Amino acid sequence: MPASRALPFLLLLAAVVALACGPGQLTTVRFPRATETVLNPERGLFVDIDLLHGRDFRHVRADGFTLGFAYVRLDAWRTVALSPELFEQLAAGFEAARDAGIKVIVRFAYNKDEYGLDAPKWAVLAHIQQLTPLLRANADVIAVFDAGFIGAWGEWHTSAYGLDNQADRGDILWAILHALPSSRSAMVRAPMYKVAAYGDAVDEHALTGTDASRVGHVNSCFLASETDLGTYTAPIERWKEYLARDGLATPVGGETCAVAPPRTDCATALAELRRLRWSFLNAQYHPDVIAGWRAQGCLDEIRDHLGYRLELEAVSFSKRVVPGGSLDAEIRLRNTGYAPPYNARPVYLILDDGAPLLLPDDPRRWKPGPVTIRTRIELPPALAPGRHRLSLWLPDADPRLRTPARAPLHAIRIAGARWDASTGVNVLTDALVVPPGPARSAPPPTGRARPRRRRRRRARATSTMQAGRTRRAGRRPRRPRSPCR
């Protein structure tokens, strides 16, 4: 057969053999559609917290939130160095958030009004440099950093010192990104600012760890007008299309600021939150918009689907399970939320209460839609007969949030799985059954008897070969060996 024809034939043969000789049959457990509300880290509605003076944030989780927004005023230090007392207060506030099981969206600003009295550029850069050790030391409880500093409300416009231009914005953004650890992102007020700095080639930098991959988006006037009060310039559709792509790899969130029907009605809100990949939204502002969503019946849907929502659909595992053998497992989830998780975290598979097995999956790639995890694990040789439990654990990436008290508060909960609130583990199934094994055979005898038997077998084999030579011409053909052996 010519080589050009032989290659496709061999590939087809290999595929057939792989199907015939692949892993054993799988047992599948299917789950009904999950409808329960689950509280998960780094997503959902958020509320304001006072990071400087608050020392107990347990009420945030008790009220059904995992995110607090901290607006930190720096008015007193516009042209001087930040004080040691400020750092002590901030460190205590971060520790209170850590103990409460919440994370913080942080913004620093020099005012809270429309007049934009901020600080000169040299002072802003000096303050960012001062804040660097504090931000890195507390990155575990910083969900995302709102770029802030410039202009009115720290929203990058109306700067009293003229910092609302691309050159100064770019310098300050660069300083912020390098003050934060590489695991954390900063958000800018309008998508035009990011594109001006890094271009709009989303796929080239998504999840790469570059500066461009760490810049997300905050919209402080969601649905307030056709342009969301300056969030978009013309053509508006270009920026929405860009956000729909970039939001699959960066954090997107913000708040409403005014009632503007029909844009602020449920139909538009639901469509744009999903399209633009929102992960978090202010539950307190604008109060009239929030009240309108509650009255129209969409607030609960928004609460449940901001960011990610992972639902368990099915678990498949090897039908034949033996101690010391391999277990093939396939876990089928569905992300019914608006976006993937935006901060990295590990994924572990756990058999019973054994050591967690780290999987190669990256939850930041779990886009809305079906999610499949496939793995093969080696079972312990001493695995006892009976039923066994298979669980999935998605803890925080930082070891400080994996202590027995903190781990359950910062692990991702999968809707439809059995949640172990004491450990933060999602129990997928306890239907993994190891059947009783056969009785062990007696050990082979020792001493001189064993070599004598080998000599007898060898002698019989030799006589058989000699007899076979005399009958070779009339011998029946051997059965061909299976390719699976």
Per residue of the chain (485 residues), give pLDDT as tens: 444 444 333 333 333 333 333 445 899 999 999 999 999 999 999 999 999 999 999 999 999 999 999 999 999 999 999 999 999 999 999 999 999 999 999 999 999 999 999 999 999 999 999 999 999 999 999 999 999 999 999 999 999 999 999 999 999 999 999 999 999 999 999 999 999 999 998 888 899 999 999 999 999 999 999 999 999 999 999 999 999 999 999 999 999 999 999 999 999 999 999 999 999 999 999 999 999 999 999 999 999 999 999 999 999 999 888 999 999 999 999 999 999 999 999 999 999 999 999 999 999 999 999 999 999 999 999 999 999 999 999 999 999 999 999 999 999 999 999 999 999 999 999 999 999 865 343 344 454 444 444 444 444 444 444 444 444 444 444 544 443 33
Total number of residues shown for the chain: 485
Spatial distance between the Cα atoms of 220 and 230, rounded to a whole number of angstroms: 10
Q: Are 244 and 275 in contact (CB under 8 A)?
A: yes
Same domain? For 251 and 364 the reply is no
Q: 432: number of CA atoms within 13 Å, CB side?
A: 25
Looking up residue 425, the CATH number of its domain turns out to be 2.60.40
Same domain? For 279 and 133 the reply is yes
* Neighbouring residues of 76: CB distance < 8 A, sequence distance ≥ 6: none
Is residue 467 a part of any domain in this protein? no
Is residue 476 a part of any domain in this protein? no
Same domain? For 292 and 364 the reply is no
Residue 190 CA: distances (Å) to CA of 194, 197, 239: 7, 12, 9
* Angle at 141 (CA atoms; ends 202, 352), nearest 5 degrees: 90
Q: Which of the 8 DSSP states describes residue 421? A: T
- Residue 385's domain comprises 24-35+310-434
Spatial distance between the Cα atoms of 373 and 330, rounded to a whole number of angstroms: 6
User: How far, in whole angstroms, is CA 158 from its chain's centroid?
Assistant: 36
Same domain? For 88 and 110 the reply is yes
DSSP three-state, residue 327: strand
Q: What is the CA radius of gyration of the chain?
A: 31
User: How far, in whole angstroms, is CA 56 from its chain's centroid?
Assistant: 27
Residue 106 CA: distances (Å) to CA of 62, 68, 70, 113, 141: 21, 9, 5, 18, 10
Burial 246-282 (b: 16+ CB within 10 A, else e): bbbbbbbbbbbbebbeebbbbeebbebbbebbbbbbb
Residue 113 CA: distances (Å) to CA of 107, 116, 118, 225, 327: 14, 7, 10, 20, 60
* Domain endpoint, select from 434, 450, 468: 434
Same domain? For 251 and 375 the reply is no
Is residue 187 a part of any domain in this protein? yes
Q: Are 318 and 297 in contact (CB under 8 A)?
A: no
Same domain? For 175 and 118 the reply is yes
Looking up residue 117, the CATH number of its domain turns out to be 3.20.20
Same domain? For 332 and 424 the reply is yes
